[in-house]
Amino acid sequence: MSQSTTADKEIIVLKKKLDSAIQARLELQKDLEVQSSTFVQFISKLSHTAKGTDAQLDNKLAKLRKLLAKSSSWQDVQDMLSEITQLLLKHSATKDRNITHLHEQFHQAGQLLQKIRNLPDSLRRELRTLISETKDTKDSVIQYISPLSQLIKLYQTALISKEKIKHDVSSKNQSNTSPETTSVDSSIIERFTAFLTNLNVSSSYQPKINKIKTELTSNISHKELLDDFLEVFEIINKDLIAERDTAKVFLSTLSKTLSSVQTAVQTTISINEASKSKHSELNKKLKKNITDMAEGLNNANSLADVKVDINEKLKHIASALEEKTVFEFEQLKAMSLRLGEMQQKVNLLESQGRAFKKKIQEQQAISYQDALTKLGNRAAFDDYFSKQMVRFHHAPFDLAIVVLDLDNFKRINDTYGHTAGDKTLQVIAATLAKSIDKDQFVARYGGEEFVMIFTNIDKKQLIEKLNTIRLKVAKLPFKFKNNNVSITLSLGVTHVIGSDNIHTAFERADTALYKAKETGKNQVIYA
């Protein structure tokens, strides 16, 4: 076989290797593009899921998206990622501090309660278990602080009143009366009932809360009251733990995912650097082989020498190309591995983000809902009315606010009991909700007072509408203790004017309501 045939074959092999090296390089390039587009996608999904968690975080994520859209340098992207990670770390630290504070409060109160003399053993035991169970629960949201501290205060009042009774009993030496069985001061019962009415916990606990409220309407003893307190403590605590299991995990996962993405970006940068230098080393090697080949040709004395030399050099080039292909293939594998890992993290974060969003929505729904009537509460009203006011000041339209109050409601409570009062509020709330169109708004402002917002309806039509509602409520067939009872409403109403803000408009309607009450009740007064 001639040397030229060998050289031809070598050249064919060489060409194939060159082609495959070019192909591998192209794929690598494509892969890098996919990876950076996954990263961009990740950041935009991240921004979407985290939106609303914190304004500063939203802001930084928006900046990061801009950097990515402008194809800024990886260094800038990395700097922004570091800032975001720092922000998340700061968040966890603040949250941890608040949570620790909440737990300290909870424990101090619990320990204080435990120290109280004459606490029945069973209660003391339950309290101890409750306190030790919550000891390691370092996570929560701040919304639980307020009900917990209110409940603790109430509990303390109840215990102090029990101690007082015990003291009175022993000083009067009446051995047949025990503080466990004496009935409780009605103001504590009233405050506890109001607390339970306004307590926002997951709906699964509502039947238990209702049961306790019913128990409170009968003449309960101190022991039963303290048992009820403990049960409510437990409900709040369980709700708090359940809440932690979903919402809280999100921020820390977000932080962890970001750090690992940051590491992935860092690794990509350093691998790219390393691969750049490896590539240039391999290219140098190839160049040298080709230069050597040219030199070999120049220095050759005969054709035979040339062929031998070319064969020799081709072998070197082939092995250098082989090395380059293997290297690029391995790099490709490593890249796709990292890409897969990153994708997995994005998926995980997405599903946790969805759970977090759902929980936030549930919490917002709960915090905007009045527990007793299921109408919107005062917070929902404030939110709705301020939005309408912004619209109004942008382009005025007929916007009216109605404040209404049940007449002589105290009498219902006093004559037929608090439960009858609650039922009345529920029925009237449902009637109000049914009497208005979908685009109008009604909320329970507090106690026996409701607010309504009407849009695009003039004074005459509105007064007619409100009178219809008033008569409808007056005709509701309430029956308590075999007595037919009629409940009437007084209503104050006004249209918003250009110089109004939320407060002036509300006050005008409230003054009209006051007038309606003063001048005979069961009527609508327009201001």
Ligand X SMILES: Nc1nc2c(ncn2[C@@H]2O[C@H](COP(=O)(O)OP(=O)(O)OP(=O)(O)O)[C@@H](O)[C@H]2O)c(=O)[nH]1
Residues 6+ apart with CB under 8 A from 250: 352, 353, 355, 356
**At its nearest, how many Å lie between ligand X and the CB of residue 445?**
11
Contacts of 195 (CB under 8 A, 6+ apart): 147, 150, 151, 154
Nearer to ligand X, 224 or 405 (CB): 405
Q: How far is the CB of 114 from ligand X (least distance, A)?
A: 33
CA distance 446 to 455: 23
In whole angstroms, the minimum distance from the beta carbon of 108 to ligand X comes to 31
d(CA 343, CA 330): 20
* 3-state secondary structure at position 495: strand
CA-CA-CA-CA dihedral for 221, 224, 225, 227, to nearest 10? 160
Shortest distance in whole angstroms from residue 210 CB to ligand X: 13
3-state helix, strand, coil in the chain (%, to 5): 75, 10, 15
How many Å apart are CA 104 and CA 190, to the nearest integer?
28
Q: Which long-range contacts (CB under 8 A, 24 or more apart) does 474-482 make?
A: 474/522, 476/427, 476/428, 476/431, 478/424, 478/427, 480/412, 480/415, 480/416, 480/420, 481/416
Beta carbons of 148 and 102 less than 8 angstroms apart: yes
**Total Cβ atoms within 10 A of residue 76:** 14
The residue (of 389 and 491) whose beta carbon lies closer to ligand X is 491
CB of 184 or CB of 406, closer to ligand X: 406
In terms of CB distance, is 139 or 228 closer to ligand X?
228
Q: How far is the CB of 517 from ligand X (least distance, A)?
A: 5
Report residue 313 CA to chain centroid gap. 67
Q: Which is nearer to ligand X, 6 or 198 (CB)?
A: 198
**Is 115 buried (19+), middle (13-18) or exposed (0-12) by CB count in 10 A?**
exposed
From the list 420, 424, 485, the residue with the least C-alpha distance to 450 is 424
Q: In this complex, which beta carbon is closest to ligand X, that of residue 330 or of residue 414?
A: 414
Q: How far is the CB of 498 from ligand X (least distance, A)?
A: 32
Task: Give min distance, CB of 366 to ligand X, in A.
Answer: 17
**Separation of alpha carbons 117 and 497, rounded Å:** 61
Which residue lies nearer to ligand X by CB, 243 or 405?
405
Contact set with ligand X (CB under 6 A): 197, 372, 405-410, 413, 418, 421-422, 425, 447-448, 517, 521
Query: Shortest gap between Cβ of 411 and ligand X (angstroms)?
Result: 6
DSSP 390-413: HHHHHS---EEEEEEEETTHHHHH
- The residue (of 199 and 314) whose beta carbon lies closer to ligand X is 199
Residue nearest to ligand X (CB): 421
Closer CB to ligand X, 52 or 520, in the complex: 520
- Residue 127 beta carbon to ligand X: minimum distance, rounded to whole angstroms: 29
